[in-house]
Amino acid sequence: MMNKIWLIMLISGISTLIFINPSQVLEAVTQGALDSVNLSMRLVALYAFWLGFFALLEKTGVAGKLAKGLRPLVGFLFPKAEDESNKFVTMNMSANILGLGNAATPMAIRAINSMDDGSGKATLNMIMLVVISSTSLQILPSTVIGLRATHGSAAPADFLVASIIATLVSTFIGICLVKTYGMIGNRLKGRKAKKKALGSLPLMIRE
Amino acid sequence: MSIITRITTYIIPVIFLTILILSFVRKQNGYNAFLDGSKSAINLMVGVFPYLLTIMIAIQVYRVSGVSSVIANFISPAMNLVGIPVELSELMLIRPFSGSAALGLLENIFATYGPDSHIGRSASVIYGSSETIFYIATIYFSQSKVKRLGPAIPFALISTFIGCVIGIFVLQFI
């Protein structure tokens, strides 16, 4: 998936630029690389802070308690997850709701690592985590409110209700999609297993 | 609304304070715990960086080339059909890839149409209720061996899109 998107973006971009302004290709590539270094510098500082803070949460026992308190919800969304994954998932969701995307990311990376079964394929729980983070409820999109205020809005926060409804709807639909996908997958697997069992039956009789 | 805004500015400082006091009361070595936690950030970033670089090069080329505005023109009729102002097609297209590029477009929209116009408010809903999905999907898996993401990205895109459509629809009544 990422491979295709990456190639499409680059091929369509470069082939357009060749016609418009070929000198911009190298410039854009270099700029992208430089931007990523700048961003990593900022992110490493933020990740360090949030990972430190998470260690504090763990040490004081708050992380464990929060995970336990939210178990009914997290357990429904992420069935059969280990305690370790549960804790990271809980922290990820809390950070997302508070609008702390940079705190949510390191937690999610750890959650995914703890869910990794080595098959090279994303498990249903991993898909759920990506979908929930992507559609997550944000109480306060402070960036937008700030930008609206600087552009002279009479009511900078008046889109908030609509925005919250939008995220609630998207999260709900996302959860439904992943759950349905999981159910269909299970059913197909069940059918395959049945076929296998039936297929091996005549052989056994022959023997 | 200003009350909500005010309350939310207190949430994070209050959480910080509570945890620090808790660590003091429970006689935990908070200093060492924080230190241990933050240590892992460098290694984490070493793993994440190549992914960041690879995707950001593609995003930059894509942005500069203006392909997104061509595609935006192409899909505008479909956007109009579901009630999203045509002027916002490009914002919808770039938002899943790059937060900063989307912010630039948002600023542009506010400057051109005004933040309180229907277009301005719809743009606020789109930006405020969506995430940089491709960035999330790339970075989250950067430390794992997972190569095939299954339907994670399409599901995230579909649900975000439907959420935005409904959010913009609701906007007319408030």
Distance CA A100, CA A103 (A): 5
Please indicate whether residue A140 or residue A18 has the higher confidence score (pLDDT).
A18
Chain B CB contacts of A98 below 8 Å: 11-12
For A157, the token pair is: 């926060």
Would residue B27 count as lying in a domain? no
- pLDDT value of position B4: 63
CB contact under 8 A, B129 and A167: yes
Chain B CB contacts of A100 below 8 Å: 12
Q: How far is B87 from chain A (nearest CA, A)?
A: 18
In A, minimum Cα distance to B145 occurs at: A120
How many CB atoms are closer than 10 A to CB A182? 16
In B, minimum Cα distance to A179 occurs at: B155
Sign of CA dihedral B39, B40, B41, B47: positive
CB contact under 8 A, B128 and A161: no
SS3 A40: helix
Domain that holds residue B130: 48-171
Query: A99 — alpha (psi -120 to 50), left (phi > 0) or beta?
Result: left
- pLDDT value of position A197: 64
Would residue B158 count as lying in a domain? yes
ipTM of the shown complex: 0.86
CB contact under 8 A, A55 and B38: yes
Would residue B86 count as lying in a domain? yes
CB contact under 8 A, A105 and B139: yes
Would you give the distance in Å from CA A104 to the centre of its chain? Answer: 9
Would residue B57 count as lying in a domain? yes
Ordered mean pLDDT values, 10 residues apiece, chain B (174 residues): 67 88 90 92 90 90 86 87 89 88 90 93 93 90 88 95 94 86
Under 8 Å between Cβ of B132 and B96: yes
Q: Could you say which of A39, A155, A166 has the minimum Cβ distance to residue B129? A: A166
Please state the rounded mean pLDDT for residues A122-127. Answer: 94
Distance CA A7, CA B62 (A): 11
- pLDDT value of position A207: 40
CB contact under 8 A, B37 and A116: no
Q: How far is B133 from chain A (nearest CA, A)?
A: 6
**Residue bearing tokens 């940079």:** A102
Under 8 Å between Cβ of B160 and A135: yes
Q: Could you say which of B36, B53, B168 has the minimum Cβ distance to residue A36? A: B53
Would residue B29 count as lying in a domain? no
With pLDDT > 90 as the criterion, what percentage of chain A qualifies?
48
Phi, psi for A203 (deg, rounded to 5)? -55, -45
Please state the rounded mean pLDDT for residues A124-153. Answer: 87
Residues in chain B: 174
- pLDDT value of position A58: 87
Chain A CB contacts of B83 below 8 Å: none
Under 8 Å between Cβ of A95 and A104: yes
Distance CA B104, CA B2 (A): 26
How many CB atoms are closer than 10 A to CB B21? 11
Would residue B39 count as lying in a domain? no
Choose from B62, B68, B117, B162 for mutation: most chain A CBs within 10 A: B62
Average pLDDT along chain A: 87
In A, minimum Cα distance to B166 occurs at: A166
Q: How far is B86 from chain A (nearest CA, A)?
A: 19
CB contact under 8 A, B57 and A121: no
For A205, the token pair is: 């009789």
- pLDDT value of position A205: 44
Choose from A39, A135, A160, A181 for mutation: most chain B CBs within 10 A: A135
Whole-Å CA distances, A25 to A112, B11, B93:
35, 45, 21
Burial class (CB in 10 A: 0-12, 13-18, 19+), B76: middle
Distance between first and last Cα of chain B? 13
Distance CA A93, CA B146 (A): 21
Would residue B37 count as lying in a domain? no
CB contact under 8 A, B168 and A162: yes
- pLDDT value of position A199: 56
Whole-Å CA distances, A188 to A155, A183, A193, B79, B170:
52, 9, 9, 35, 39
With pLDDT > 70 as the criterion, what percentage of chain A qualifies?
94
How many CB atoms are closer than 10 A to CB B80? 12
CB contact under 8 A, A143 and B103: yes
CB contact under 8 A, A163 and B125: yes
Please state the rounded mean pLDDT for residues A83-107. Answer: 88
Residues in chain A: 207
Please state the rounded mean pLDDT for residues A33-37. Answer: 92
Contacts of B31-38 with C-beta under 8 Å, sequence gap 24+, read B33/A52, B33/A55, B33/A56, B33/A58, B33/A59, B34/A52, B34/A53, B34/A55, B34/A56, B35/A52, B36/A52, B36/A55, B37/A51, B37/A52, B37/A53, B37/A54, B37/A55, B37/A56, B37/A58, B38/A48, B38/A49, B38/A51, B38/A52, B38/A55
Chain B CB contacts of A180 below 8 Å: none
Q: Report how many domains make up chain B.
A: 1
Would residue B108 count as lying in a domain? yes
